[in-house]
Copies of this chain bind each other. A is one copy, B any other.
Amino acid sequence: MPKPPRRKTPEPPPYHHGDLRAALIRSAGELLRHGGPEALTLRAVARHAGVSQAAPYRHFADLRALIGAVAEQGFQRLGAAMMAAMQQGDGRKGFKELAIAYVAFAHRHPAEYRIMFGPSLASDDDLPELRKTSREVLTFVQRGIEALQQARQIGPGNSAAMAAASWSMLHGLVMLSLDGQTDNLGLSLDELVQESTRVVMFGLAGGGAAPSVKGTER
A residues bordering B, Cβ < 8 Å? Answer: 36-38, 96, 100, 104, 114, 117-125, 134-135, 138, 158, 160-162, 164-165, 167-173, 175-176, 178-182, 185-196, 198-207, 209-210, 213, 215-218
Contact = CB atoms under 8 A, between A and B. Distances in A.
Nearest to A202: B206
27 contacts: A37-B119, A38-B120, A100-B218, A104-B218, A117-B175, A117-B179, A135-B181, A160-B185, A161-B185, A161-B192, A162-B195, A164-B176, A164-B196, A165-B195, A168-B168, A169-B172, A171-B172, A172-B172, A190-B213, A194-B213, A198-B207, A199-B199, A200-B203, A202-B202, A202-B203, A202-B205, A205-B206
Contact of A178 (B122, B170, B200, B204): B122
Contact of A191 (B134, B170, B194, B213): B213
A67 B172 CA distance: 22
B203 A216 contact: no
Contact of A167 (B161, B170, B176, B203): B176
Contacts of A213: 188, 190-191, 194-195
B165 A199 contact: yes
A197 B205 CA distance: 14
